[in-house]
Structure 1
Amino acid sequence: MASISHLQLISLLLLSLFNATLSSSSWSSDRDIEYNKWVSWNVENYRRKAALKGAESIVEMTSAGGRNVLDVKLRLAEINKVIVSVCQNGTGDFKTIREALNAIPLNNTSRVILMIKPGVYREKIIIPRALPFVTFLGDASDPPTITGNDTALTAGGDGRPLGTYHSATVAVNANYFVAANIKFENTASHEIGSIGEQGVALRISGTKAAFYNCSFYGAQDTLYDHKGMHYFKNCYVQGSVDFIFGYGRSLYENCYLNSTAEKVASLTAQKRTNASLSSGFSFKDGVVTGSGQIYLGRAWGDYSRVIFSFTFLDKLVLPQGWSDWGDQNRDYKVYYGEYKCSGPGANFTGRVPWARMLRDEEAKPFIGIHFVEGYSWLII
C-alpha cells in the first residue's frame, strides 16, 4: 500500500491540476392511431435534431478548423488529463481502485484516468455524482476484473436489505464516466422462482457515459442501465433474467449478448414510464445467443422502448419476440422494433401483433450516435 505521504502527494498533484482548469393488421383502429403518432413523433424528432445538428456543425467545424467540437466542460477535462496507476502488488500509485478514487478532489474538472493493472479486484465501488470525468482503463490483452456478490437481499450497514439499486459491484452516479477493457462482475447466482437474488454487476446512473470493450457478468439484473445517455461498443453482457434493464437512453453497438437462462427469461426490461421520455435501448450490429428461451424484452414500464437492428438473433429467441409482462394495456404503448435482423430468431412470422418490423425511415432515429446525442460528448 502507498504510504500516507505518497497519497498526500498524489492528492496535492491532482488538486493543483484540477484547480488550474477552473481558470400490425390485427390491431384495433385506436392502436393504429396511437402507433402512427409514435412513428410520426420519432421521425419528426429525428429530422428536427438532424437539421439542427447540421446547422450547428457548420458553425462548429468552421470555428474549429473542420473538427468536431466537444462540449465545453468535456473539452477542458480532456485537455487537462491526469493519469494514475492502480496495481495490487504495490508498484503503482495505488493498490486499490477505491484508494485512487478517494484521492481525487470532489467536483474535479479534469479527466482522471485510472490505469488499472490486470488482476481481480474484490471491491465495491461507488463513484459519487461529485466525481465526474473518471476513466477506468484496463489492459485489452488481460482486462482487470472488478467483482462482488451482493444481492438485493444482502444486508447493508444498517442491517436492512440493500435492494437491487445498491447491490451493484460498481455504481457510477457521476457524469462523463468512461471504461475501456474492464470486466464488471457479480457472482451471485439465481435460481428459478427465487426472490431477492437480483445482483447487479454495474449500475450507471450518470449521463454521457461510454464503455468500450467491457464485459458484464451476472445472472439476474446484470447491467442496470439506470438513467442518462450511454454508449456501449464492442461489449459483452451475460445474464439470465432481465440482464439489461433500466430507464437509460443507450446505444449498444457491436455487442454480444449471452443468455444463461435455464428456461424462459427476458433479455431486456426497459422502464420508460411515459410517452414524453426520450429513453430507450437501441442494439445495432450485435449478436443475441446462449441458452434457454428468451424474449428480446418485456415491458417493465408502460412505454418501454427497445429496438434491435442489423443484429443476429439465434434460435433461443421465442417466436413471440416480446412480452407485455402480463399487462395488455401496454400493447399499444410500448415501442418494440426490429430492423434488418438475421438468424433463426429473426423470423417475424410468430411475433406479437404489437411488435414492429421497422421501415428505413422509422429506424433512422435509433441506429446512430445521434440517438444518444453523442456528437458533442463521445470520444470514439
Structure 2
Amino acid sequence: MAEMTETANMQAQITLIVAKDGTGQFSTITEALNTLEEDDIRPAVIYIKRGIYKERLTIRRPFLTFEGEDPQETVITYNLGARMEMEDGTKRGTFRTYSVFIDTHDFTARNLTFENSAGPGAVVGQALALYVDGDRILFDNCRMLASQDTIFTGPLPPKEIEKNGFIGPKQYAPRINGRHYYKDCFIRGDIDFIFGSATAYFENCELYSQDTGREINGYVTAASTPEGQEYGYVFEGCHFTGNCPPRSVYLGRPWRNFARVVLLHCRMEEHIRREGWHDWGKREAHDTLYFAEAGSTGPGAVPEERPEWVTLLNEDELTPYSRARVLGGKDGWMSGR
C-alpha cells in the first residue's frame, strides 16, 4: 500500500471546486464525487466553499481530500435516525443513519463540519454524522455534530450481540483494522459518541458532551477494540467539555470486552463523574479491557476515585502511546508529522 501511495503522489492532482452560489464547477459535493472514478489513484482535492450542503455521501475513492473554506460555515449535513422506518417497515438501525460514509483508504478532511441533525438520541435513537471504515484517514480542524453515536470508527466487531444489530453497508465485510487521526477537532454528542474498533488518535480535540436531561448524561467513548489489537483510542492533550450537570458523564465504557482507551494530558471539566469510567455491567471485562490515564487535569480528574480496573500511568510509561507509535504501522504513516 505504501508503494501505491507513493505512485499516487507522483501523479498530477485533480482539483474540483464546489460552491452553493454557482461560483464553482459544481453546486453539490455529490456531483463532484460522481466525476471521480473509484479505481483512479491520482490524488484529488475537492474544495468546498461556504454553505450548508444537505447531502448524504458515500466515499469509496482513495487518495481524496475534502478541503472546506471555513470549518464553521462549510457544513455537510443529513438527518437520519435509527428509530426511523424504512420503506419495508423495518427500523433503519444504527449503521444506516450516517450522513457521510467513508469506505476507503487515504482520505483527508480539513476545515469542515460533518453533522447529523436528526435530533436527540432519546427521540430518534442513534444517528451517525460519520461512519469511517478505512486506513490512513485524517480529520484536521473539523467539527462533528450529532447526539448519540456521532462517529463510528469502523470496522464492526466480529459478532453482533442483538440479532440484526449490524444491518448496514459493512455487515458482512471482512473486519480490517484502520488507523484514524483526529487533529484539532470539535466533537459533540451525548451517548457513546465516539465508538468502534479502529485504532484512532485524537490530538488537541474538544469532546463536548451535551445535556440529555438524564441523571447519567452519557459516555464519551464506547470502544470495541478487537482482542489482540495493540491500540484502540488514544487522546492526547484533549479537552472534555459540555453543558451537562456536574458529575453526570462518563469518559467511556467497553462496547466489547477488550476495549482500549488511553487519555494523556487531558483536561476534564466538572461534568465528568468522579469515578470516570463505567464497565457497562460487564465484570468479566475488568480483566480484559485497558482504560488508562496519565496527567489528567481539571475538576473531572479525580485519580483517587477511579476504579481499581483503571490504570494510572506515570510519565515514564507513555512512550508506547506517541502518535508515531500508535499510527505508524509498517508504512510509517504520520510518524514524521
Deviations, residues 75-126 of structure 1 (Å, cap 9, x unaligned): 2222322111011222211111111111111211111100011100000001
Work out the percentage of aligned pairs sharing the same amino acid.
31
* Whole-Å separation in 1 of the counterparts to 2:187 and 2:208: 6
Q: Does 1:71 align with 2:2?
A: yes
* Whole-Å separation in 1 of the counterparts to 2:261 and 2:147: 21
What pairs with 1:130-141 in structure 2 (closer than 5 Å)? Answer: 131-140=61-70
* Whole-Å separation in 1 of the counterparts to 2:64 and 2:86: 26
**Structure 1 gaps, min length 5:** 1-69
Report the counterpart of residue 205 of structure 1 in structure 2: 133
Report the counterpart of residue 179 of structure 1 in structure 2: 109
Kept after mapping to 2: 8 A contact 1:203/1:224: yes
- Residues 363/141 of structure 1: CA separation in 2 closer, same or farther (3 Å cut): closer
SS of the aligned residue for 1:321 comes to coil
Q: Does 1:102 align with 2:58?
A: no
Aligned counterpart in structure 2 of residue 119 of structure 1, from 19, 42, 51:
51
Shift of 1:73: 1.8
Letter in 2 for 1:266: Y
Shift of 1:362: 3.2
Letter in 2 for 1:216: M
Q: Does 1:297 align with 2:268?
A: no
Report the counterpart of residue 175 of structure 2 in structure 1: none
Report the counterpart of residue 143 of structure 2 in structure 1: 215
Number of equivalenced pairs: 306
Q: Does 1:270 align with 2:220?
A: no
Report the counterpart of residue 204 of structure 2 in structure 1: 254
* Whole-Å separation in 2 of the counterparts to 1:342 and 1:187: 32
TM-score normalized by structure 2?
0.86
* Whole-Å separation in 1 of the counterparts to 2:146 and 2:8: 33
Kept after mapping to 2: 8 A contact 1:241/1:261: no
TM-score normalized by structure 1?
0.77
Letter in 1 for 2:317: E
Shift of 1:315: 1.1
Shift of 1:199: 0.4
Report the counterpart of residue 169 of structure 2 in structure 1: none
* Whole-Å separation in 2 of the counterparts to 1:269 and 1:115: 33
Shift of 1:157: 5.5
Q: Does 1:153 align with 2:103?
A: no
What pairs with 1:278-289 in structure 2 (closer than 5 Å)? Answer: 278-289=230-241
CA RMSD of aligned residues (A): 1.9
What pairs with 1:9-48 in structure 2 (closer than 5 Å)? Answer: none
* Whole-Å separation in 2 of the counterparts to 1:101 and 1:277: 34
* Whole-Å separation in 2 of the counterparts to 1:235 and 1:79: 30
* Whole-Å separation in 1 of the counterparts to 2:72 and 2:207: 21
Q: Does 1:348 align with 2:280?
A: no
Deviations, residues 185-210 of structure 1 (Å, cap 9, x unaligned): 01122254x5x610000111011100
Deviations, residues 188-246 of structure 1 (Å, cap 9, x unaligned): 22254x5x610000111011100100000000011111231000100000001111111
Letter in 1 for 2:64: V
**Structure 2 gaps, min length 5:** 156-177
Kept after mapping to 1: 8 A contact 2:52/2:73: no
* Whole-Å separation in 1 of the counterparts to 2:89 and 2:4: 40
Kept after mapping to 2: 8 A contact 1:250/1:282: yes
Of structures 1 and 2, the larger Rg is shown by: 1
Letter in 1 for 2:209: S
* Whole-Å separation in 2 of the counterparts to 1:188 and 1:273: 30
Kept after mapping to 2: 8 A contact 1:247/1:279: no
Aligned counterpart in structure 2 of residue 357 of structure 1, from 294, 302, 312:
312
* Whole-Å separation in 2 of the counterparts to 1:151 and 1:282: 28
SS of the aligned residue for 2:94 comes to helix
Kept after mapping to 2: 8 A contact 1:71/1:377: no
Report the counterpart of residue 88 of structure 1 in structure 2: 20
